[in-house]
Each structure stands twice: as structure tokens, then as C-alpha cells.
Amino acid sequence: MLTLAIPGLEALPAVADQVRDALQGHNIVCFEGEMGAGKTTFIKALCVSLGVPEDEVSSPTFSLVNEYRDARNQPIYHFDFYRLNNPGEAEDIGALEYFDSGYLCLIEWPSRIEALLPPERLLLTLTVTGPSSRELKIEN
């Protein structure tokens, strides 16, 4: 496990670069943290680190999934499963096909679809440590 301190928003680009390097070999990346912990904000910084234009990254809260393109024009899928009532709703939008695509899948609220997730995944947990500070734990 790797633990990274995020003292404030200004630290996000550097931490996102470190996480980008930790992604090697992982295409399923799960983000846990309480409401307001900064999952979407961190995913935005991570996507920018991967070459996605900042203004293209937004929360897929209502659409469930957004697609972005990285610097190599490869798709990145960003999911937000907070509003799901059951894992079947994720199946209905083709989540399993996205997960099997081999492309990067960034998943907010993965516990809502735990039964659908492949065992090979990276877990990032954001914990609020102050008004603008966070702790990020990365686990295989």
C-alpha cells in the first residue's frame, strides 16, 4: 500500500502524476471516499495528467459514464455509480463490456457494483484530513 498526502488543491497535479505512474498494468481503478472527499476532483487531475483537456472532464453522476480521450487518443471511461439502486443497472449500460475492453476505467462508488468488478483492480481511497487536505491510499 502507498499513502500520499494531498495538502491542498495545488498539490493535485503532482500527486496525479504519481498515481498515473502507479496505474501501469491496471485498467480498473476504483475510487472510494465519503461524499465530498474529492473523488471527481482527483479523477479530473488524473485525466489531465494522462493528456485529457481539463474542460472535458466532468462528473458522470447522471449519465453514469463519461468517455474521454488521453494523449494517445485512447479511451478513458469514468463511471459514477452513486445513484444506482442495484448492480443490474450497471449491467444495463454495458459496464462489463467497458471493464473487459482493456481501456482505463475510473470508477467512483465501486462498492455499489462490487459483484461485477474483476478481482484485478487498483483501489484508491480518499480520506478528508482537513478543509482542503486529503490522504490518498493506493492498494492492489
100-112, pLDDT tens digit by residue?
A: 999 999 999 999 9
| 107, burial (CB in 10 Å: exposed 0-12, middle 13-18, buried 19+) | buried
Alpha-carbon distance 13 to 18, whole Å? Answer: 9
Beta strands across the sheet bearing 28-32: 2-6, 134-139, 122-128, 28-32, 104-108, 75-80, 65-69
- The domain made up of 2-139 has a fold known as Rossmann fold (3.40.50)
What's the whole-number mean pLDDT along residues 77-88? 94
| Residue environment code for 20-31, b if the CB has 16+ CB neighbours within 10 A, otherwise e | beebeeebbbbb
In the chain, the percentage of residues whose pLDDT exceeds 70 is: 100
Alpha-carbon distance 7 to 132, whole Å? Answer: 7
- Predicted pLDDT at 88: 94
Retrieve residue 29's grid coordinates.
Answer: 481503478
Res. 81: pLDDT tops 90: yes
25-57, pLDDT tens digit by residue?
A: 999 999 999 999 999 999 999 999 999 998 999
Res. 62: pLDDT tops 90: no
